[in-house]
A = this chain, B = another copy of it.
Amino acid sequence: MRFSEALIPTLKEDPAEAEVVSHRLMMRAGMIRKLAAGIYDLLPLGLRVIRKVENIVRQEMNAAGCQEVFLPSVQPAELWQESGRWDQYGPELLRLRDRHNREFCYGPTAEEVITELVRGTVRSYRQLPLNLYQIQTKFRDEIRPRFGLMRCREFGMKDAYSFDADEPGAEASYRVMYDTYSRIFARCGLRFRAVEADTGAIGGSFSHEFMVLANTGEDAIAACESCQYAANIEKAEIGLRDEPEPFTGEADAPERVPTPGRRTIEEVTSFLDVKPDRLIKTLILTTPEGTVAALVRGDHDLAAAKLKLFLGVEWVEMADPETIQRITGAPVGFAGPVGMAEKIRIVADNVLRGIGPAVVGGNETDVHIANVLLGRDFTPDDFADIREAQKGDACPRCEGNMTVMRGIEVGHVFKLGTKYSKAMGATFLDENGHELPLVMGCYGIGIGRTAAAAIEQNHDDKGIIWPVPLAPYEVLLLSINPGDSKISEASDRLMAELEGLGIEVLYDDRDERPGVKFNDADLLGIPFRITVGARNLEQGLVEIKRRNETELKKVPIDQVVKMVADMVTEAKAV
């Protein structure tokens, strides 16, 4: 494609509305254009990236034995009433009425439609397992759409639905999708982790979020450096390898010390000149089953989700100031396990077994207690893994260490069970002629979100740095002064030869200053740049540069095509 003929309306300035880097760079690179809040035109360059993601998804889904379908976006309300979601779904569901005043919605997902399709076409266990997917436009009427393609209202999504005869079958289907998703994101050239997600009522490890790793990601993840284990930091388990022995040394008697106005860990440790790991934080929480005190070390954070899981309750919340006053006898900031006004259940983090003499809150305004010894001065009701994981923590699955990273959710695999099949009567006859509900799973990938996440992961202050498999073009052929016939002839020839090898080339033949063209080259982020200029050309040379490297190489013009073609091929191999 010749740049001079292409619709690539690059912007020099950052658009004011763009809050995140992918949004800003997609706008500036002329990939997308806002039509309305959360609704974007995909321009030629943006669409090419989207198609790359879609094609990788399609190839891998087909290779996994899934069958592609295409379901309507306008879905009858009746089906959503059958599943119960018509009333459950809030205003994110875009509801509409046709000319006959019948109710429909613009599908945000397709569980109902696919279940209707399968209940009408599948009768027997011999037709199972079945996995149907589509790549289709969805609509979710987000209250505050933002971040460009990262959180928009109209968006492209791959959604797949598996149907099995029983739980083991459903688990096998789930595993196939897990592996397929891993291949998809690897083939996209992205660094990612599959993260254990909350399974709600289902239990087991049958929900994973696929996270593209990026410092700008919304989610914090604890992930093992040695094995596949990863989880949202709020839920990540911590291995027992480093669990301390109970403290058996000597300690002075407890001592009440005045800490006027010092409430936070920083204030207290700095005032008393002790390290945070010599302090025990006491958090008062309310749960459906009463008030609880949770103890964690001063340099640790409570993981409320883990405490909730340990207690086996539906929710856990920080207690309000009145409750804290009543329970501890002091205002917020001075709670401690020794001498509370009311006796409540105390859950201590595993690591506190070995903490030794420590500082705790005094349950009295402006007072802490030093030299408090667990087992001597107070005894927790339980020890449990209730803190947030940190870099260096032991992996719960292997001998490795955990690290903490940030990520962007781009895919989700989920075992649905029989929720929809039971509600909508999607059954089959098993080998004995018994009618049973189908066991389902659902599997989504945000197509535009994957493209945006690729930019969040791969960019610098000049622009995008596309992974080769997702790049809108593989090679940028930059012709300096294309008015010079020697340069344009040499460039035209390179263009033809590269395209002859199936390489996707954007040929910057514009009559623009070199500075403008080099800036656009960095902004667009095409992986390989070939520069044709007068001085090099006289010596039979052109310049090549990878977008993700700083080095410029001069190579003979008659070798550059093969060199670049080899580099492209190598970069796309997984």
Residues of A within 8 A of B (CB): 4-7, 9, 30, 33, 35-36, 39-44, 47, 50, 65, 67-76, 91-92, 94, 96, 98-99, 102, 104, 106, 113, 116-117, 120-122, 126-127, 130, 132, 137, 139, 141, 143, 153-154
Contacts and interface: CB of A to CB of B under 8 A. Distances in A.
Contacts of A113: 35, 41
A65 B106 CA distance: 34
Contacts of A122: 7
A15 to B, nearest CB: 12
Nearest to A71: B41
B39 A137 contact: no
Contacts of A98: 94, 141, 153
B44 A67 contact: yes
A42 B69 contact: yes
A304 to B, nearest CB: 31
B74 A116 contact: no
Contact of A154 (B44, B74, B153): B74
Given A5-B65, A117-B41, A121-B7, A50 B35 contact: no
Contacts of A71: 35, 41-42
A5 to B, nearest CB: 7
Contacts of A7: 67, 69, 121-122, 127, 130, 132
What's the number of copies of this chain in the assembled complex? 2
A35 B70 contact: no
A341 B121 CA distance: 70
A69 B44 contact: yes
Contacts of A75: 35
A42 to B, nearest CB: 4
Nearest to A136: B137
Given A9-B121, A44-B67, 11 more contacts: A4-B126, A7-B121, A35-B117, A36-B102, A41-B117, A43-B121, A44-B68, A47-B68, A50-B70, A73-B73, A137-B137
Contacts of A50: 70
Contacts of A116: 35
Contact of A39 (B72, B120, B121): B72
B99 A96 contact: no
A120 B33 contact: yes
A137 B96 contact: no
Contacts of A69: 7, 41-44, 47
A126 B143 CA distance: 41
A137 B74 CA distance: 11
Query: Which of A6, A39, A47, A139 counts the most B-chain CB atoms under 10 A from its CB?
Result: A39
A45 to B, nearest CB: 10
Contacts of A4: 126
A505 to B, nearest CB: 14
A122 B5 CA distance: 12
A141 B99 contact: yes
Give 6 nearest A-B pairs by CB, closest first.
Answer: A42-B70, A9-B121, A96-B96, A91-B99, A44-B67, A39-B72
A230 to B, nearest CB: 33
Contacts of A92: 99
